[in-house]
Amino acid sequence: MSEGRPDILSSNQSLLSGATTSPVRKIGEGLIQFALFLCAAVSVLTTIGIVAVLLIEALQFFRDVSPWDFIFGTKWSPLLKPQHFGILPLLCGTCLVAAGAAVVAIPIGLCTAIYLSEYAPKWVRETVKPLLEILAGIPSVVYGYLAIVFVSPIIRSMFESANVFNAASASIVVGIMILPMIVSLSEEVLRAVPRSLREASYALGATKLDVTLKVVVPAAFSGILASFLLAISRAVGETMAVTLAAGATPKLTLNPLESIQTMTAYIVQVSQGDTPAGTVEYRTIFAVGLTLFFTTMLMNILAQWVLRRTREKYE
Amino acid sequence: MSASEPSMTISTDNEQSKVVGVSTRLHESSDRRPKLARSSDELAAARSKISVSNLDFFYEEQQALFDVTLDVPEKCVTALIGPSGCGKSTFLRCLNRMNDMIDGTRLKGKILLDQEDIYRPRTDVVELRKRVGMVFQKSNPFPKTIFENVAYGPKVAGIRKRSVLREIVEHSLRKAALWDEVKDRLNQSALQLSGGQQQRLCIARTLATSPGVLLMDEPASALDPASTSRIEDLIFELRESYTIVIVTHNMQQAARVSDQTAFFFQGKLIEAGATNTLFTNPEKTQTEDYITGRFG
């Protein structure tokens, strides 16, 4: 060891003495840095562009419709006379589906995550996790289709009053869609709880259930909460399945058996239809889009904030 | 095993330098703490709390302990010493079946606690761990309040009454010499305490389940000299009511706190005996070489 030291020193010195960068390399470095900057700029500029378009079009919309009516109006019928521009029915539809999805996905997702992280033998974990990835990879249009041909008939057989298109069937399939997200994120935070905490708990005569419920889950709680928020935000933004399954009837209701319309489904309806560009009806989708954007952004920020709090926790 | 050999030499170097700093302090503290290590006769007379016979232990195919036989006398401090990777921690973790948690471990031989085999099939491991508490190398308080940390064990054991819990918490914190420092902030997070306080909190937490045996896995190795000294004083006091088995890297610590010392090397128990005898007059040359610092 000690004999090696002088060599290292001298080679360092020789490196330092020849440390003037050649101009070719300097230009090359500069080019690469610029190329990387451009790549980063593309995504940032796109985001800014999208928000700008949303804002500009939405502002034009609000010249025709008062923001008050938009936010607090309880009737949404921009495509029919008499026109009403109250976002509440759409917001309510979105919330209904997202809440329903949460009711389906949170208990199942959390239990699955706890099972995988604390109880499952290694081979089960290694089989289930890839399967969940597959579940996450199924296109949402397939979920929508399944909701109509499979889930909805079951609901209708149980509740006669249920519509063919209803919020409940959309909620269930969206819940299944966000399940993998909850499972994999929660499982990750559960497993990140230091082994030393589990050992401390076991050493005090705790059973596995004690360790899980009184130490591991509380320690990982804010991470779990963040996974819920991210998943719900995904449910809010989910489009295809709800467009197919939930119907196209904007309605201010909390009854999941009724046909409703979500914000995303409305945007689809107008974008595909023959609403002429430049009219108030057309501009509604920007106002709705902006509302949607704020809703999901708020949830994501909340989730990030909660997650950041976990990171500081154990040390 | 062989791969860790070079690092072992380095760690001994560290210990040697630590010893110099600690030894001066030792003389100070020896004034207020008369050294009362039990003699070999007293040890022989003491009731055996834990009795290990012919213990072999395996991680997968690798054998970590070879035919270890050792008696742990009641209400004495037994120190396990030896170089890194010698199996002393593995041995300690056999005593409360903490190794059960690691997949692929196997054990042969017998461990009796109060004359009962703790590895027979119908042993209630949860019950066992209430009787055999453990303090870890790195303090590991739960991210909960100080109160909740200490109350955790009793709560898990089914104690619900707030007044009883409060009494246990106070009693345990007093025993761990932490009460005066934390009595006004029991509802603050345990993570705000200093390293030494956290380790004493972990000891208090263990005492709260009123175990008969206390296992300590290098409880002071991550602490500064002042905190180490407090923990050592504490061990000495706890000896009056608990049977303590302590793993330590630091031979001076073993000499200071223990009544009996067991020297492990490469998974084998080389020698065990009254601390006074083992350190002054070891039987085996390997022991002598180790305690005089000739190898690590």
Contact between chains at B133 and A203 (C-beta distance less than 8 A): yes
For an interface test with A, give the residue of B97, B156, B192 to mutate (most A CBs within 10 A).
B156
Under 8 Å between Cβ of A171 and A96: yes
Q: How many helices (H) and strands (E) does chain A have?
A: 15, 0
On the question of a cis peptide bond just before residue B282, with omega within 30 degrees of 0, the verdict is no
Contact between chains at B205 and A122 (C-beta distance less than 8 A): no
**B252 forms bridges with which residues in the sheet?**
none
Domain with A136, as residue range(s), is 88-311
Residue B9, min C-alpha distance to chain A (Å): 14
pLDDT (tens digit, 0 to 9) for every residue of chain B, 296 residues total?
344 334 333 444 444 443 443 443 444 444 444 456 777 777 777 788 899 999 999 998 899 999 999 999 999 999 999 988 889 999 999 999 998 888 888 899 999 999 889 998 888 999 999 999 999 988 899 999 999 999 999 999 999 999 999 999 999 999 888 999 999 999 999 999 998 899 999 999 999 998 989 999 998 888 888 888 888 988 988 888 899 999 998 888 888 899 999 999 999 999 998 988 888 888 888 888 888 877 65
pLDDT, tens digit, 9 for 90 and up, residues A201-230: 999 999 999 999 999 999 898 889 989 999
Domain count for chain B:
1
Q: Are residues A25 and A59 in the same domain?
A: yes
Q: Are residues A98 and A14 in the same domain?
A: no
Contacts of A313 in chain B (CB under 8 A): 143
Predicted pLDDT at B36: 64
Q: Are residues A30 and A159 in the same domain?
A: no
A132, part of any domain: yes
By C-alpha distance, which of A144, A105, A133 is closest to A229?
A: A105
Q: Which residues of A have a CB under 8 Å from any CB of B?
A: 122, 194, 196-207, 210, 214-215, 218-219, 313-315
A243, part of any domain: yes
How far is B295 from A189, CA to CA, in rounded Å?
Answer: 43
Q: Which residues of A248-286 are buried (b: 16+ CB within 10 A; e: fewer)?
A: eebbbbeebbbbbbbbbbbbbbbeeeebeeeebbbbbbb
Q: Are residues A131 and A202 in the same domain?
A: yes
Q: Are residues A43 and A102 in the same domain?
A: no
Q: Are residues A52 and A165 in the same domain?
A: no
A80, part of any domain: no
The single-letter code of the amino acid at B116 is E
Tokens 């921690």 correspond to B89
CATH code, B119: 3.40.50.300
Q: Are residues A253 and A149 in the same domain?
A: yes
How far is A27 from B158, CA to CA, in rounded Å?
Answer: 71
With 50 as the cut, is the pLDDT of residue A1 above it? no
pTM over 0.90: no
Backbone angles phi, psi at B295, to 5 degrees: -145, 165
Report which listed range, A23-32, A110-119, A160-169, B224-233, is most confident.
A110-119
Long-range contacts of B110-115 (CB under 8 A, 24+ apart): B110/B51, B110/B52, B110/B53, B110/B54, B110/B55, B111/B50, B111/B51, B111/B52, B111/B53, B111/B55, B112/B50, B112/B51, B112/B52, B112/B53, B113/B49, B113/B50, B113/B213, B114/B49, B114/B212, B115/B51
A81, part of any domain: no
Q: Are residues A52 and A178 in the same domain?
A: no
A17, part of any domain: yes
* Mean pLDDT for the stretch of residues A18-41: 86
Q: Chain B residue with minimal CA distance to A220?
A: B143
pLDDT, tens digit, 9 for 90 and up, residues B114-161: 988 999 888 899 999 999 999 998 889 999 999 999 999 999 999 999
* Mean pLDDT for the stretch of residues A71-76: 88
Return mean pLDDT, chain B: 84
Q: Give the SS3 label for residue B270.
A: strand
Nearest-CB residue to B98 (from A203, A206, A313): A203
**B50 forms bridges with which residues in the sheet?**
B72, B113
Domain count for chain A:
2
A75, part of any domain: no
A162, part of any domain: yes
Q: Are residues A30 and A115 in the same domain?
A: no
Domain with B77, as residue range(s), is 2-291
B17, part of any domain: yes
B296, part of any domain: no
Report the complex ipTM: 0.82
Q: Is A180 left (phi over 0), alpha (psi -120 to 50) or beta?
A: alpha
Q: Cα separations (Å) of B188 from A230, B184, B252? A: 31, 9, 36
Nearest-CB residue to B101 (from A202, A205, A313): A202
Return mean pLDDT, chain A: 87
A83, part of any domain: no
Q: Is B144 left (phi over 0), alpha (psi -120 to 50) or beta?
A: beta
Q: Chain B residue with minimal CA distance to A118?
A: B101
Q: Are residues A56 and A145 in the same domain?
A: no
